[in-house]
Amino acid sequence: MPSSLLIAHVTLVGIGATALMDAWLASLSRLGVPTASFAMVGRWVGHMPRGRFAHAAIAKAPPVRHELVLGWLTHYLVGIAYAAVLVALQGAGWLERPTFAPALAVGIATVAAPWFVMQPAMGSGFLATKTTTPLKNCLRSLANHSVFGTGLYLAAAALAGLVA
């Protein structure tokens, strides 16, 4: 597969998986389940060029210009990066014949980012220990990232079907 096609394929898989996760989050929100605001992700990322990487409470940090757009952009770029990790681990051939287990495994592994990087940096503590319901929040993150992993597989399978 030529490198430009590989990059496009990985990008579409990452976008597809992230979009499925977003549909899942939207469904949860409609059911009254609290979901994270991507504006807070944008605020966190927006403070990084100013040398601020951790916050006691990201919601109390000063807003940054276009934080919601920045948060969504970050969310999708990270999804694309995780798709690239999956393909790097499995090889480009996985895109032609995707299998579920590696996609789910990578999706589940990505939960390490919120548990050990984002939540602590945004003031929620490692494994959301500074929240009122840490176990519930961790399990919710695990479910969300499992849906993302499922999306990696489904997006790759749909694209493999189109390319074949």
Tokens 């999804």 belong to residue: 79
Tokens 């503590």 belong to residue: 125
* Torsion 56-75-99-27 (CA) sign: positive
Q: Which amino acid is at 72?
A: W
Burial call 85-122: b when 16+ CB within 10 Å, e when fewer: bbbeebeeebbeebeeebbbebbeebbeebbeebbbbb
Per-residue pLDDT of the chain (164 residues; tens, 9 = 90+): 789 999 999 999 999 999 999 999 999 999 999 898 999 999 999 999 999 999 999 999 999 999 999 999 999 999 999 999 999 999 999 999 999 999 999 999 999 999 999 999 999 999 999 999 999 999 999 999 999 999 999 999 999 988 75
Instruction: Give start and end residues of each alpha helix (H) in 31-133.
Output: 38-47, 67-90, 93-96, 100-109, 112-113, 119-121
Domain ranges in the chain? 3-159
Virtual CA dihedral for 111, 132, 119, 13, nearest 10 degrees? 40
CB 1 within 8 A of CB 128: no
